[in-house]
A and B are shown apart, each in its own frame.
Chain A
Amino acid sequence: MSESIIQDIQHKLNNKEVSCVQLVQEKIDALNASTKNANNSILAESALKQAADFDKQLASGKQLSGLEGIPFGVKDVYLLKGTISTASSNILKNYKSPYTATAIQKLIDAGAIPVSKENCDQFGHGSTNENSIFGTTKNAFDDSKVAGGSSGGSAVNVAQKNTVFSIGGDTGGSIRQPAGYNNVFGFKPTYGRVSRYGLMAYTSSSDCVGPFAETVKDIATTLNVMSGKDGKDQTSVESTSIDVNAFSKDIPAGTKVGVYKTFINHPSLDPSIKKEFHVLIEKLKDSGVTVKELDFFDGDTLTATYYIIALAETASNLSRIDGIAYGNRAMDKDSLASTYLDTRSEGFSEESKRRIIAGNQVLSVGYSDEIYKKALTVRKGIEAKFVKDFNEVDFILSPTAPSLPPTIGQSLKDPLTMYLSDMYTVGFSLGGLPTLSAPFEVANNVQITAAKGKDEEILRFAYAIEQSL
């Protein structure tokens, strides 16, 4: 396995083994031929134009660097100027992006070429990518199984090599879980490391922008480009660039890893995942890593805390989508009130309506103190526990999802099971912690989490494991 697909492709471009137009055309052909439902729209015309510009530069003797000439995918919740950005919803089916999201613009400025707006659960509302007007995205390895979600299309495109990397969004596991279901790397950075400007908001207090890729180095390279303080996102923070060339194949001496007993002993954890997870832990011990078992909140509490906060925030965030200034409006209604009512009832899916209505309940009199504010207090407790745990260990390792990818259609019958399947990912989202979902011989991937701001440490550790397996 190559250490960097991005570097390999650029090497071929610079050596004129392939032209940029040929490369982009190959990807577009593959995206068009895919039967996985991973793409809401394919950006052939603009991508080929950018590729032709790079070919001209190559012909004039320039060597490409950074992300120049690299085709990538964009989850269809990011604005990309002039393209249709639907959030996989009916209400925004024809919405044209007036500007480009900061993270995506930085990638374009670094020379990367967007080739696809990728399928996802509507407004991020789902863990299976079945909640989409474009249909269910199928798992990269089994058409009968879901791709995971909400960033399912992005994970599948990378797994099928139809994009070199893709940009997903992770609120409660929406990058990490589909990365696991499709056996690729997916990274949720520290909250604020990458600007959220131009990302359609789901849960603003935990929404994160992050990449999918085939190697750790490619995750680091794309993250470096997107990171940084942005005046258009007050929650964004400065960060230092990760030195990809300084990655070592050796795990640093004295590395300490924590494992949450409540996660590993949860009855819903598939025995095969548990077994593979233990094998990985034993390998790490053999490499000199110290492993410590830790107590943590149970999965039900984590899931309840996350969903209560997420529902409240999405009800608030999506209240702006009413068909007045943009979006598909229900026409010829008697009044403003009936226009709102019909526009939103026709425009949102059943799952999105469920979350908006429940979110308004959480925020209403009689519930806000007892439910919403209590969830915020529990979140504080979770954050405090992380601070204590990372005084004892460098990383926490955990499974990404308790069960193997469900069969398409199964989760729609029982949404509660789908919500509970997020139990291993949502806690780290509530803490705003960086977490990598890595395909390290454990079904559904393994999560590697560190303290806030320790994104580089995770990727260094993961690189050493990647090279040793």
Chain B
Amino acid sequence: MDKLEQLSNIKAGDVNISKITDFFETIKNVKDIDTLGSEDHIVKSDNLREDVVINCDPEEKALILDNFPAKQGTYLVVPKVIQ
């Protein structure tokens, strides 16, 4: 569980995942899957838009900044990355 907590960035605490992991046995036991004729329902991305930066409008920019959790004056405060 320690590794999963680390991967998830979440303390598991009382969270019990055993009910979900019961599904793992079910899927392992599925046999004889006929995939002939299946078609991807996800649309192929063969019509990509241009990879260009599009500036958002000032109102949108203000809302994005307003959502930032910590500020000091005009600075945006983030946790220390290097100790």
Q: A235-B42, A323-B69, A333-B79 are in contact. Are A340 and B30 (CB under 8 A)?
A: no
Instruction: Count residues of chain B with CB under 8 A from any CB of chain A.
Output: 55
CB distance from B44 to the nearest CB of A (A): 9
Residues of A within 8 A of B3 (CB): 364
B residues apposed to A, CB below 8 Å: 3-5, 7-17, 19-24, 26-28, 30, 33-43, 45, 47-49, 56, 59-61, 63-64, 66-70, 78-81, 83
Contacting pair B34 A384 (CB below 8 A)? yes
CB distance from B3 to the nearest CB of A (A): 7
Cα A97 to Cα B79 with chains together (Å): 24
Instruction: Count residues of chain A with CB under 8 A from any CB of chain B.
Output: 75
Cα A361 to Cα B60 with chains together (Å): 37
Residues of A within 8 A of B30 (CB): 301, 305, 374, 378
Interface of chain B, main secondary structure = loop
Cα A432 to Cα B42 with chains together (Å): 8
List 9 A–B pairs whose Cβ atoms lie within 8 Å, in order of A's numbering.
Answer: A301-B26, A324-B69, A325-B64, A333-B79, A353-B10, A364-B4, A380-B33, A419-B19, A419-B20
Q: A81-B60, A384-B36, A415-B19 are in contact. Are A370 and B28 (CB under 8 A)?
A: yes
Q: Most B CB atoms within 10 A — which of A191, A235, A357, A387? A: A357
Q: A304-B27, A452-B41 are in contact. Are A357 and B19 (CB under 8 A)?
A: no
Residues of B within 8 A of A1 (CB): none
Cα A374 to Cα B5 with chains together (Å): 24
Residues of A within 8 A of B8 (CB): 315, 344, 353, 356-357, 360
CB distance from B17 to the nearest CB of A (A): 5
A358 at the interface (CB under 8 A from B): yes
Cα A82 to Cα B57 with chains together (Å): 13
- B27 contact from A96, A305, A364, Cβ within 8 A: A305
CB distance from A87 to the nearest CB of B (A): 14
- A327 contact from B49, B64, B69, Cβ within 8 A: B69
- When C-beta atoms are compared, the residue in chain B nearest to A191 turns out to be B41
CB distance from B4 to the nearest CB of A (A): 5
Interface bits A336-380 vs B (CB < 8 Å: 1, else 0): 110111101100101001111110110010010011001101101
CB distance from A58 to the nearest CB of B (A): 29
